[in-house]
Amino acid sequence: MIVGKQKPFEEIWNMVKDFKKVLVYGCNTCVAICHAGGGKEAEIIASMIRIKAAEEGVPMEVKHAGIERHCEPEYFEPLMEEVKTYDLVLSTACGVGVNFLSERIGNIPVYPGINTEFFGAVPQAGVFTELCAGCGNCILHLTGGICPIARCSKSLMNGPCGGTNKGKCEISQEVDCGWYLIVERMKQLGTVDKLYAIQQPRNWSTARDGGPRRVVLAHIQDLEEEEAKKES
Amino acid sequence: MKSGSNLERVIASGKPAVTAELGPPMSADPQEVIHKAKLLKGYCDAANITDCQTAVVRISSIAAAVLALREGLEPVMQMTCRDRNRIAMQADLLGAAALGLRNCLCIAGDHQSFSAAGKLKGHPGAKNVYDVDSIQLVGILKKMRDEGLQEGGDKLEVAPKFFIGAAFTPGGEPMDYRPYRLKKKVDAGADFIQTQGIYDVEMFKSQMEKVRNLGIHEKTAILGGIIVPKSAMMLRYMDSSVAGVSVPKPLIDRMMKAKNDAGTDKKKAKEAQEEEGIKIAVELIQQVLEIPGVKGVHVQAIEWESAMPVILKAAGLYPRPTFPDA
């Protein structure tokens, strides 16, 4: 899932303080699981803004709402007419949601209420860890299911650097060395010999380096077109 | 000869090679490089010119290497994978070769958050690159030199002729994988290897046995790393905090004894420890050179270049070989 973290309230206040009618708009999928931007968090942020506005003597109407997903039109379109009555939407969806709503909402600004962090998992309640960097060319079959791009601080492809210290990364004793984990896992799987082969320089064009990415499924597009024809 | 560098010639001669280290300054003043080059000249076969070591901005390795070369000290330029993508790397390699540089050490580089272990501000907010890793960089240098091709496949009219180096951390974890990773570096094209500083000679011996069993020592020249200890405090720090380095207790105890025997005079304690540090370095050099498969030493007297003549003479490594036609 996409992991997000609420922005410091001071930053949020500075974004919203000059608006009169604000909607704090939550997203109830990924960012709700990480307690950053679901409907519940949107409600709390809305209350905090109201309290601060009252303290500062700023007249402001603040409402909150939450929908299932901000990244697909079918979820937010039913509410769009109402959303358009505000003069600011503070979205607590991930950056995808902020972008997606912003380009469909017309002349109303959509500001981010959270910082979108990474694709992560939930190893224990309240802890979220980055496990995939979305590079567009998966090699997890070669690395024991542990991603060196996401989990090695240097995204090295050919084993651990000299900075491995007691199984931890040179950047912090709190961070596991990704390559230490890979080597140990490959030993456990009996496939450590796969790590003896040189991985050549990668083609990073499948990652963000290649520019904004798109995935197009032609067969789904064709189906949609057929449906549209039938209806007309 | 792959590069014709002095370091390559010494290694080819079969005599133990000696490399040293020269850290460029955080300053645009060339004098510090020139001064250090003068101190090291004649006391090593080539000197590594570090590339923004500890992730701190300094005179670039290539520029400082050219300053050293002008003083008659052969440089080993270093190139980290932290700061450049493959386009910048290859452009710099062509430029370095055009300026007369003949040795290049390929390393990952300290992470940008390192900032001299927190002693300096550094640039922890910098974006790192790591387009390629050190093993891939070795392969790029080899492809440029031996095939006359860029990584992308375009031809080079004149190929850069580098003697290619890489690093080895014998005491790094996971230790059983390290010799295999070294083999990858050598298979990729590393002509010489400089190891992380060795204090635990027994550990290095055991890793070298594995290296020999893989036949790596016959395809590359392994130079054992010696970091000249300056004080008991430095040895303790290296033992506890430097990745892949462990210092046996008897060595720390020796330094502590030298310090304590000097009494309360701080200057005397410093001198006594430096004297003991030089003795330790000489012993380590001799022990490392005895290990089968080791072709030389990489001696780092960090910010203490003036110690090199004493150490080399005591270790029986002075004078350095010279070549009449060079």
| Structure tokens given for B62 | 């290539």
A165 in reach of chain B (CB within 8 A): yes
Residue A65 binned pLDDT confidence (cut-offs 50, 70, 90):
very high
Where are the domains positioned within chain A? Answer: 2-118, 136-210
Cα–Cα distance, B113 to B55 (Å, whole number): 7
A171 in reach of chain B (CB within 8 A): yes
Which one, of A203, A138, A169, A143, lies nearest residue B136 by Cα? Answer: A203
Cα–Cα distance, B192 to B185 (Å, whole number): 10
Cβ contacts of A144 on chain B, cutoff 8 Å = none
- Answer yes or no: are the C-beta atoms of B163 and B45 closer than 8 Å: no
A174 in reach of chain B (CB within 8 A): no
Which one, of B146, B288, B310, B308, lies nearest residue B207 by Cα? Answer: B288
Q: Which domain holds residue B215?
A: 6-229+282-314
Which among A152, A158, A166 is the top mutation candidate for probing chain B, defined by the most B β-carbons within 10 Å of its own β-carbon? Answer: A158
Q: Exposed (0-12), middle (13-18) or buried (19+): which is A63, by Cβ within 10 Å?
A: middle
Residue B126: CATH number of its domain: 3.20.20.220
Q: What Å distances lie between residue B109 and A170, B26, B81, B202, B267, CA to CA?
A: 11, 17, 6, 27, 35
pLDDT tens profile A182-228: 999 999 999 999 999 999 999 999 999 999 999 999 999 999 899 99
- Answer yes or no: are the C-beta atoms of B114 and B122 closer than 8 Å: yes
CATH code for the part of the protein at A2-118:
3.40.50.2300
Domain membership of residue B324 (yes or no) is no
| Structure tokens given for A82 | 């109402």
List average pLDDT for each run of 10 residues in chain B, which is 326 residues long: 97 98 97 98 98 97 98 98 98 98 98 94 96 98 98 98 98 96 98 98 98 98 98 96 96 97 95 97 98 98 96 98 84
Check pLDDT > 90 for residue A231. Answer: no
B131 in reach of chain A (CB within 8 A): yes
- Tally: H helices and E strands in chain A: 9, 9
Interface A–B counts its CB contacts (< 8 A) at 98
CA dihedral B262, B266, B268, B274 (to 10 degrees): 90
CA–CA min distance B114, chain A (Å): 7
Task: Please state the φ and ψ torsions of residue B283, each to the nearest 5 degrees.
Answer: -60, -45
Domain membership of residue B260 (yes or no) is no
Domain membership of residue B268 (yes or no) is no
pLDDT value for B326: 61
**ipTM for the complex?**
0.96
pLDDT value for A232: 79
Which among A161, A180, A187 is the top mutation candidate for probing chain B, defined by the most B β-carbons within 10 Å of its own β-carbon? Answer: A161
A185 in reach of chain B (CB within 8 A): no
| Structure tokens given for B293 | 């498969």
What is the average per-residue pLDDT within A119-133?
96
Domain membership of residue B247 (yes or no) is no
Which one, of A97, A88, A124, A80, lies nearest residue A38 by Cα? Answer: A97
Q: Which of A157, A165, A184 sits opposite B243 (nearest CB)?
A: A165
Cβ contacts of A161 on chain B, cutoff 8 Å = 108, 134
Q: Exposed (0-12), middle (13-18) or buried (19+): which is B283, by Cβ within 10 Å?
A: middle
Which one, of B121, B164, B118, lies nearest residue B140 by Cα? Answer: B164
**Residue B253 identity (one-letter amino acid):** D
Tell me whether residues B180 and A196 touch, CB distance under 8 A. Answer: yes
Tell me whether residues B184 and A196 touch, CB distance under 8 A. Answer: yes
Q: C-alpha B28: how far from its chain's center?
A: 23
Q: Exposed (0-12), middle (13-18) or buried (19+): which is B155, by Cβ within 10 Å?
A: exposed
Quote the number of domains for chain B. Answer: 1
Domain membership of residue B244 (yes or no) is no
Chain A residue closest in CA terms to B238: A165
pLDDT tens profile A151-191: 999 999 999 999 999 999 999 999 999 999 999 999 999 99
Tell me whether residues A154 and B177 touch, CB distance under 8 A. Answer: no
pLDDT value for B324: 83
